[in-house]
Homo-oligomer: A and B are copies of this chain.
Amino acid sequence: MMLHVGQFNLPSREQFEAAMRGIFERRYYTNQGPLTRAFEERLQSELSVKHAICVTNATIGLMMASEALGIVGRVIVPAVGNATLANALRWCRAETAFADVDMADGQFDVEALDASIAEKGNVKAIIGANSWGDACNAPALVALARAHRLPIMFDSSHGFGCVVAGRPVGSFGDVEVLSFDAADIVNAAGGACVATNDDELAARLRNIRSSYGAGKPVDVVKTSNGRMSEAQAALGLLSLDAYHANRSRNRALFEAYRTGLNSISGVCVVEPRRAELSNHQTLVCAVDEQVASLSRDALIARLAEREVEAVAVRALDAQSRSGAYVDRSWLRLPLGAHVCPSDVERVCALIDEAVKNARMAGSLA
């Protein structure tokens, strides 16, 4: 059976059935029910933000956030990251422009960003991203945005639980979006939340989310249907309870990968460097084709033959300096609830074997 990339944390069936029983008794399934409200309160406390507005998925959350901020025109986003962000912005009035990331950790390069704002001109907003279980230099990005008098938003889709500069990822931007997909450490079956400390922005987000108008009615340019269901919230609440145990498990697997992979020449784990605490939900490794005698894509093909899914990290702008590098060398490996320590050993041994075979074939050629 294929070993997949993604977290796939689920509560026990008994826990979930108990939660669903309550939903059935209340006959209240969508539109800001009691479990969604409870999930929002828990998230507000976990993220240290005033408003956590739950939505059906991160794409919708990112669309809502961009429109609530009123972004019309050019917005700078990292050249490497989550394709969901670029896809979401195409439904909005924002026009995406890419800026380089640091090739060592894949996080927004603050200096490159400063240059990019000057170079591209007429920039209306910055959207940073907290990726790969690490965080960008959020305080420096916020300061840069303030200096340029620009709104700043973060795509923190995969950043729940990470801490940077002493504060939770999710609490820095004018608005941030966190994802609770099955692929993420907190799983609310594709749910997400939009976090902000700004009351007016929160009111706009609540009005954009739902035609039924939860909260104070305020003028918004458009509305959507971004409502989270009670079943999603039930899963999310149970998943929050399991967060610390799941994070510890991820961390042990991450460390096993580090030990196994960093001893293979031409292969190394991309480490969370700035986050003081990582959720370790993602394992990214970089393949140096010259040293390993094997391309990233060839390695992915070798692993697929042995039922191990490895996913190429595709740059959003492969023409940029960092994009060209990442587009050629980065891949993600399985790490999550369905992965055991012995799976990690097997994956590392397969990669070791693939590199050794490639070098041998290279020296014979």
A149 within 8 A of B: no
Q: Which of A69-77, A82-90, A168-176, A350-358 contacts B (4 or more CB under 8 A)?
A: A82-90
A48 within 8 A of B: no
Contact of A227 among B187, B190, B229 (CB under 8 A): B190
In the bound complex, do residue B189 and residue A91 qualify as a contact, i.e. CB atoms below 8 Å apart?
A: no
Interface residues of A in 225-276 (CB under 8 A from B): 225, 227, 229, 231-232
A279 within 8 A of B: no
A116 within 8 A of B: no
Chain B residues contacting A120 (CB-CB under 8 Å) are none
Chain B residues contacting A8 (CB-CB under 8 Å) are 27
Chain B residues contacting A60 (CB-CB under 8 Å) are 60, 225
Main secondary structure of the interface of A (DSSP, over half): loop
In the bound complex, do residue A87 and residue B30 qualify as a contact, i.e. CB atoms below 8 Å apart?
A: no
In the bound complex, do residue A87 and residue B231 qualify as a contact, i.e. CB atoms below 8 Å apart?
A: no
- CA of A227 to CA of B84, assembled, Å: 13
On chain A, the number of residues with a Cβ less than 8 Å from chain B's Cβ atoms is 40
In the bound complex, do residue A182 and residue B222 qualify as a contact, i.e. CB atoms below 8 Å apart?
A: no
In the bound complex, do residue A229 and residue B30 qualify as a contact, i.e. CB atoms below 8 Å apart?
A: no
Chain B residues contacting A20 (CB-CB under 8 Å) are 13, 16-17, 20
Closest to A25 in B: B13
Closest to A21 in B: B13
In the bound complex, do residue B90 and residue A222 qualify as a contact, i.e. CB atoms below 8 Å apart?
A: yes
- CA of A255 to CA of B302, assembled, Å: 67
In the bound complex, do residue B225 and residue A59 qualify as a contact, i.e. CB atoms below 8 Å apart?
A: yes
A218 to chain B, nearest CB (A): 16
A211 within 8 A of B: yes
A362 to chain B, nearest CB (A): 33
Interface residues of A in 200-228 (CB under 8 A from B): 211, 221-225, 227
Contact of A211 among B56, B63, B87, B221 (CB under 8 A): B87
In the bound complex, do residue A338 and residue B190 qualify as a contact, i.e. CB atoms below 8 Å apart?
A: no
Enumerate chain A interface residues (CB-CB to B < 8 A): 8, 10, 13, 16-17, 20-21, 24, 27, 29-30, 56-60, 63, 83-84, 87-88, 90-92, 181-182, 187, 189-190, 211, 221-225, 227, 229, 231-232, 338
6 closest Cβ pairs, A-B complex:
A59-B225, A90-B222, A57-B225, A13-B24, A87-B223, A91-B91
